[in-house]
């Protein structure tokens, strides 16, 4: 069982008390416990069962404008005594930074709403095994599928965040995740693909057959891929890739990248960075949302932000430290975004496919090819050639490249948004990118 | 050396008896104990942004029956917690009828010293060096707009207790020193990153102001990129410089030769053992025994001494990298490649220092042999789909080659190729093998482990360069 609030609060207040006694003028502490149980299947048989019980504490101490932090997985008071003493000592020896401080008191979250993030139900390993059996029976039914690996994880977590200004809060969250990875083979090729479902509540999880079916079909259709020539082309990003482009955007408007001057979106607030129809929201209070939260990792209250309004950038993602540096108030985004999404566009998926006589539909990218300093983008890609709205054949061993400054201005979104991850996008079309192949 | 039972209600004897009782009829398994201490000191934007210290303690208990792995980990080294884990393992495996394999090779060789690098230099000394780095780089002219530098130091003590009480242990130091610099000219910004590290004390890298060479290299890369033109798009010849570009070897063939993917037949290499997978003259090894290197290990995380494993010899595929589980199921022996990020994770076969050995040609000859192509010197990272065999790596410093001569620098771009065939397109192997500077981390199944790479300059006859210039 995951540790209760009382245990975590007791540890937190012990640490705050000790830090104060040892000379810290301010301090903050996070105590977390996370218990997960995972069952992995391979080719319709049990492959691995894994239980983890993780405790963790991290403490930041301040002496005036000096700051240092420690973290540990050992919560015995003996150990905490040594570590906090070390932390305060290190703080004394660390140079001052005028922007170091706890959040402004009036910005701290006051009410903690129940966002429906915790499901008390427990799925025993035998039930997980039943689910995976059903999943793999479907996933392996086509003889082109030569290997299936699937997994079911239940996670229960609890945390408390406390600081010396009197903030002390936390709550339980749960997640249930099932995934299926399949390998298909024909005379010419071997390909892999996957499908996945993750929810706060067990009863909301996709059913096993659906997952197995999707994984297998998405893999089989990749068989016998071709390589195409290099050209300028319209790219359509599958939702699972489009969300990555939204994440890169979030990285580029983080206050740390902005204050350090290492973002291509520095000084772009109130400027048009996307095409007219694009709206981006970050909404922390979605019920059962995979990115939902009541406050950020400093305890600052979070409200919904319309980050991009009709193509115009309206906000950075601001934490306390970088906010002070930029002379802006924290908007509760220490630790990043919550439920981040592009609002739906106004054409259907089908019309999007049909909007150009020839385009590339991308289902997977590999490599770390997003540079937020310059905005340059270049990644390896796998997908399909689309002609007149039809998927013609699979494609691989190509790269796609462009620069986000241009790409953002050329985005068209379909109206098929789903909340499958914490960051979500409808299917995305971008004109004028370069594919490198033969 | 850590005494894991010192402050616990669990004695070593009791632990041994729970281990033996749990693993009795299993094919393999062990209790893995780990105590790691790490520090990070970061200078950024002219200030010491962060000084943090982490201490992590825990165990992972593993039982294997045939192909099935049961694993349970916890932070609490106590009688209750170990018993609970033992129950978890037993309930997963239900009826077991294996024979525990007690055999584990022994070696007295050690590839690093038993030191704690964190304590070998005071906080103030480290802060002074970081401030010196900042001042040094910013004195290089107005174009330097941002400097980030950090120290990462770690000491990890591990102990492996097997059924019957056999105990193996290791104390592993590891440090890293990184510098990143951003320059700006006429509104254009570029970054350059460089670092050094390995399994030894900070002093080996930082004495007599030799950190200046790390700064110079980061600044050089950033400055070159300020002048860079859009990279070409399409298939062309590629010359790779020595050292870091061996990320190619790591991604193109390294992952595909890990035992688990080949046992499961999901690697593009699984049916190529004994066959020609590379040009003649190409020899690739994975070596855990190089003194004080980042990827070296005295014993792996199952207690097997590491070794120098020949993967490809003169173009022929010779061996996969194995941990105990995959070796047993493939009826071969462990190559000492069983690794894990920490006690929270199961063991997987992983790379250590993956190296292509020198041939006898010069880099100059290679560049002369290219009419149209690129020369790639520095890389940021890579990734592979081991099933299709397609891999990428991202170059951070490259130049165009026109008619056998180096041209202007080109922007960072992703290069993509096919693992099982790329090494057959290596037409020249240089005489200048070099190790990387010692800062590489490899990710697999959510686990990061420190690794090294090395190679000489090589000429690849055809690869796709992912630029924007058609």
Whether residues A59 and A177 fall in one domain: yes
Neighbours of A186 (CB within 10 A): 11
CB contact under 8 A, B45 and A259: yes
Q: Which residues of A touch B126 (CB under 8 A)?
A: none
Q: What is the least distance, in Å, from the CA of A111 to any CA of chain B?
A: 31
Of B42, B238, B222, B34, the closest CA to residue B123 belongs to B42
Residue from the list A72, A79, A397 with its beta carbon closest to the beta carbon of B390: A397
CB contact under 8 A, A230 and B73: no
Q: What is the least distance, in Å, from the CA of A130 to any CA of chain B?
A: 14
Per-residue confidence band for B121, with pLDDT thresholds at 50, 70 and 90: confident
Q: Which residues of A touch B381 (CB under 8 A)?
A: 367-368
The structure tokens listed for A313 are: 């950038």
Q: What is the least distance, in Å, from the CA of B392 to any CA of chain A?
A: 6
Whether residues A298 and A394 fall in one domain: yes
φ, ψ at A168 (rounded to 5°): -155, 105
Query: DSSP character for B254?
Result: I
On whether the CB atoms of residues B381 and A368 are closer than 8 A, the answer is yes
Q: Is the pLDDT of residue B14 over 70?
A: yes
Q: Which residues of B touch A229 (CB under 8 A)?
A: 234
Contact B391/A at CB under 8 A: yes
Query: Domain end: A220, A238, A262, which one?
Result: A220
CB contact under 8 A, B123 and A94: yes
CA distance B266 to B268: 7
Contact B196/A at CB under 8 A: no
Residue from the list B124, B145, B392 with its beta carbon closest to the beta carbon of A367: B392
Largest Cα separation within chain B, whole Å, is 73
CA distance A96 to B47: 8
Whether residues A191 and A317 fall in one domain: no
Residue from the list A125, A264, A366 with its beta carbon closest to the beta carbon of B385: A366
Can you give the CATH number for the domain in which A13 is found?
3.30.2290.10
CA distance B181 to A260: 11
CB contact under 8 A, B416 and A262: no
Contact B53/A at CB under 8 A: yes
φ, ψ at B89 (rounded to 5°): -65, -45
Of B130, B34, B468, B110, the closest CA to residue A376 belongs to B468
Q: How far is CA B142 from CA A317, B105, B137, in A?
A: 29, 58, 10
Residue A43, pLDDT score: 96
Residue B207, pLDDT score: 77
**Ramachandran assignment for A247, one of left (phi > 0), alpha (psi -120 to 50 degrees), beta (any other):** alpha
CA distance B241 to B460: 11
φ, ψ at A426 (rounded to 5°): -70, 170
CB contact under 8 A, A373 and B191: yes
Query: Domain end: A158, A189, A220, which one?
Result: A220
Query: Domain end: A220, A242, A264, which one?
Result: A220
Contact A186/B at CB under 8 A: no
DSSP B172-240: EEEEEEEEEEEEEETTEEEEEEEEEEESS-THHHHGGGTHHHHHHHHHHHHHHHHT-BPPBEEEEEEEE
Residue B443 is inside which H or E element, if any? strand B440-444
**Ramachandran assignment for A22, one of left (phi > 0), alpha (psi -120 to 50 degrees), beta (any other):** alpha
Residue B1, pLDDT score: 53
Contact A266/B at CB under 8 A: no
Length of chain B, in residues = 470
Q: Which of B28, B37, B464 to mutate to test the interface with A (most CBs of A within 10 A)?
A: B464
Q: Which residues contact B381 (CB under 8 A, 6 or more apart)?
A: A367, A368, B247, B393, B394
Exposed / middle / buried, residue A101 (Cβ in 10 Å: 0-12, 13-18, 19+): middle
H helices of A32-152, in order, are 77-93, 125-139
On whether the CB atoms of residues B57 and B8 are closer than 8 A, the answer is no
Q: What percent of chain B has pLDDT over 90?
A: 89
Whether residues A349 and A258 fall in one domain: yes
Residue B73 is inside which H or E element, if any? strand B68-74
Whether residues A211 and A291 fall in one domain: no
Q: How far is CA A296 from CA A292, A333, A336, B441, in A?
A: 10, 6, 8, 30
Task: State whether residue A284 is helix, strand or coil.
Answer: coil
Q: What is the pTM of this model?
A: 0.94
CA distance A349 to A363: 15
CB contact under 8 A, A376 and B268: no
**Ramachandran assignment for A388, one of left (phi > 0), alpha (psi -120 to 50 degrees), beta (any other):** left
Q: Which residues of B touch A46 (CB under 8 A)?
A: 68, 92
Q: What is the least distance, in Å, from the CA of B69 to any CA of chain A?
A: 5
Positions in chain A short of pLDDT 70: none
Neighbours of A302 (CB within 10 A): 22
CA distance B24 to B11: 20
Residue A272, pLDDT score: 98
CB contact under 8 A, A380 and B416: yes
Q: Is the pLDDT of residue B275 over 70?
A: yes
Domains and CATH numbers, chain B: 118-156+171-226 (3.30.160), 233-466 (no CATH)
Contact A374/B at CB under 8 A: yes
Question: Domain of A419?
Answer: 226-438
Q: What is the ipTM of this complex?
A: 0.90
Whether residues A268 and A306 fall in one domain: yes
Contact B182/A at CB under 8 A: yes
Residue B294 is inside which H or E element, if any? none
Average pLDDT of the residues in B51-58: 93
CB contact under 8 A, B52 and A69: yes
φ, ψ at B218 (rounded to 5°): -60, -45
CB contact under 8 A, B44 and A380: no
Whether residues A34 and A95 fall in one domain: yes
Residue A1, pLDDT score: 80
| Cβ-based contacts under 8 A for chains A and B | 241
Cα dihedral sign, A247-A250-A256-A261: positive
Whether residues A298 and A376 fall in one domain: yes
On whether the CB atoms of residues B188 and B226 are closer than 8 A, the answer is yes
User: Which residues are paired to A72 by β-bridges?
Assistant: A57, B55
On whether the CB atoms of residues B388 and A191 are closer than 8 A, the answer is yes
On whether the CB atoms of residues B201 and B62 are closer than 8 A, the answer is no
Using only C-alpha atoms, chain A has a radius of gyration, in whole angstroms, of: 24
CA distance A410 to A389: 19
Contact A232/B at CB under 8 A: yes
CA distance B231 to A436: 11
Whether residues A58 and A160 fall in one domain: yes
Whether residues A210 and A238 fall in one domain: no
Q: What is the least distance, in Å, from the CA of B438 to any CA of chain A?
A: 20
Q: What is the least distance, in Å, from the CA of A292 to any CA of chain B?
A: 23
Total domains in chain A come to 2
Q: Which residues of A touch B54 (CB under 8 A)?
A: 70-72
Q: Is the pLDDT of residue B204 over 90?
A: no
Whether residues A214 and A85 fall in one domain: yes
Exposed / middle / buried, residue A284 (Cβ in 10 Å: 0-12, 13-18, 19+): buried
φ, ψ at B448 (rounded to 5°): -100, 130
Of B389, B199, B167, the closest CA to residue B298 belongs to B199
Q: What is the least distance, in Å, from the CA of A325 to any CA of chain B?
A: 11
Q: Which residues of A touch B384 (CB under 8 A)?
A: 366
Contact A326/B at CB under 8 A: no
Residue from the list A48, A374, A397 with its beta carbon closest to the beta carbon of B190: A374
DSSP A289-350: -TT--SB-TTSBB---EEEEETTEE---B--HHHHHHHT----S-TT--SSEEEPP-SB-HH
Query: DSSP character for B445?
Result: T
Whether residues A258 and A205 fall in one domain: no
């Amino acid at each position: 069982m995951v540790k209760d609030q009382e245990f975590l609060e007791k540890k937190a207040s012990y640490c705050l008390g000790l830090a104060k006694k040892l000379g810290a003028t301010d301090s903050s502490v996070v105590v977390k416990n996370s218990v997960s149980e995972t069952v992995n299947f391979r080719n319709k048989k049990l492959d691995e069962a894994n239980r983890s019980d993780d405790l963790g504490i991290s403490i930041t101490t301040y002496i005036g404008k000096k700051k240092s932090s420690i973290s540990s997985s050992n919560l015995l008071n003996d150990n905490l005594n040594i570590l906090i003493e070390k932390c305060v000592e290190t703080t004394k020896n660390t140079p001052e930074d005028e922007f170091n401080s706890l959040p402004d008191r009036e910005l701290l979250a006051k009410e903690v709403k129940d966002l429906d993030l915790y499901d008390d139900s427990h799925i025993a390993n035998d039930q997980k095994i039943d689910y995976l059996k059903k999943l793999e029976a479907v996933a392996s039914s086509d003889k082109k599928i030569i290997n299936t690996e699937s997994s079911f994880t239940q996670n229960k977590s609890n945390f408390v965040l406390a600081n010396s200004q009197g903030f002390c809060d936390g709550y339980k969250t749960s997640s249930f995740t099932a995934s299926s990875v399949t390998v298909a083979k024909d005379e010419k090729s071997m390909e892999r693909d996957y499908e996945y479902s993750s929810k706060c509540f067990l009863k909301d999880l996709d059913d096993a057959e659906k997952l197995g079916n999707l994984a297998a079909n998405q893999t089989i259709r990749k068989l016998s891929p071709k390589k195409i020539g290099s050209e300028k082309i319209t790219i359509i990003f599958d939702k699972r890739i489009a969300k990555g482009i939204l994440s890169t955007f979030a990285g580029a408007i983080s206050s740390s990248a902005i204050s350090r001057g290492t973002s291509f979106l520095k000084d772009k607030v109130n400027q048009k960075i996307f095409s007219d129809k694009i709206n981006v929201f970050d909404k922390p209070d979605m019920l059962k949302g995979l990115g939902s939260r009541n406050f950020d990792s400093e305890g600052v209250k979070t409200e919904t932000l319309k980050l991009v309004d009709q193509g115009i950038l309206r906000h950075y993602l601001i934490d306390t430290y970088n906010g002070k540096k930029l002379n802006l108030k924290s908007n509760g985004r220490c630790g990043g975004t919550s439920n981040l999404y592009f609002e739906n566009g106004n054409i259907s998926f089908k019309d999007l496919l049909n909007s150009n006589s020839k385009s590339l539909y991308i289902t997977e990218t590999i490599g770390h090819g997003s540079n937020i300093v310059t905005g340059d983008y270049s990644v390896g890609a796998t997908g399909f050639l689309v002609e007149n709205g039809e998927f013609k054949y699979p494609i691989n061993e190509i790269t796609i490249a462009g620069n986000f400054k241009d790409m953002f201005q050329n985005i068209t979104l379909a109206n098929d948004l789903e909340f499958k991850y914490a960051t979500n996008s409808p299917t995305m079309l971008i004109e004028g990118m370069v594919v490198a192949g033969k | 050396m850590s005494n894991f039972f010192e402050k616990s209600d669990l004695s070593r004897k009791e632990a041994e008896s729970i281990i033996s009782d749990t693993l009795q009829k299993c094919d393999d398994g062990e209790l893995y104990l780990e105590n790691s201490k790490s520090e990070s000191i970061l200078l950024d934007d002219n200030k010491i942004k962060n000084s943090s210290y982490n201490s992590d303690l825990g165990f992972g208990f593993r039982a294997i029956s045939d192909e099935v792995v049961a694993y349970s980990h916890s932070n609490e080294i106590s009688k209750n917690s170990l018993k609970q884990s033992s129950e978890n393992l037993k309930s997963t495996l239900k009826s077991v009828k294996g024979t525990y394999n007690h055999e584990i090779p022994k070696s007295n060789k050690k590839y690093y010293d038993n030191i704690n690098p964190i304590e070998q230099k005071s906080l103030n000394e480290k802060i002074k060096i970081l401030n010196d780095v900042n001042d040094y780089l910013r004195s290089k002219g107005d174009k330097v707009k941002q400097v980030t530098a950090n120290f990462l130091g770690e000491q990890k003590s591990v102990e492996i207790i097997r059924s019957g009480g056999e105990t193996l242990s290791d104390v592993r130091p590891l440090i890293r020193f990184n510098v990143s610099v951003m320059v700006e000219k006429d509104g254009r910004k570029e970054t350059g990153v460089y670092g050094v590290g390995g399994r030894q004390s900070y002093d080996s890298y930082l004495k007599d102001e030799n950190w200046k060479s790390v700064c110079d290299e980061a600044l050089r890369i950033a400055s070159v990129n300020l002048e860079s033109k859009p990279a070409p798009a399409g298939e062309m010849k590629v010359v790779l410089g020595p050292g870091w570009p061996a990320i190619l070897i790591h991604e193109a063939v390294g992952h595909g030769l890990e035992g688990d993917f080949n046992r499961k037949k999901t690697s593009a290499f699984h049916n190529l053992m004994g066959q020609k997978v590379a040009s003649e003259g190409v020899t690739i090894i994975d070596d855990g025994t190089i003194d004080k290197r980042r990827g070296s290990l005295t014993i792996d995380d199952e207690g097997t001494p590491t070794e120098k494993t020949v993967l490809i010899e003169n173009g022929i595929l010779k061996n996969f990298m194995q941990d105990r589980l995959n070796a047993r199921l493939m009826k071969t022996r462990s190559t000492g490649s069983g690794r894990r990020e920490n006690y929270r994770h199961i063991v997987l076969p992983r790379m250590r220092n993956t190296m292509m050995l020198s041939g006898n040609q010069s880099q100059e000859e290679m560049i002369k042999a290219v009419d149209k192509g690129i020369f790639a010197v520095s890389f940021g990272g890579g990734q592979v789909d081991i099933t299709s065999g397609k891999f990428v790596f991202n170059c951070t410093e490259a130049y165009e080659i026109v008619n056998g001569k180096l041209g202007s620098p080109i922007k960072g771009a992703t290069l993509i190729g096919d693992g099982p065939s790329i090494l057959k397109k290596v037409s020249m192997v240089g005489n200048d093998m070099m190790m990387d500077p010692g800062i590489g981390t490899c990710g697999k199944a959510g686990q990061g482990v420190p690794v090294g790479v090395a190679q000489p300059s090589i000429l690849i006859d055809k690869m796709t360069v992912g630029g924007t210039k058609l």
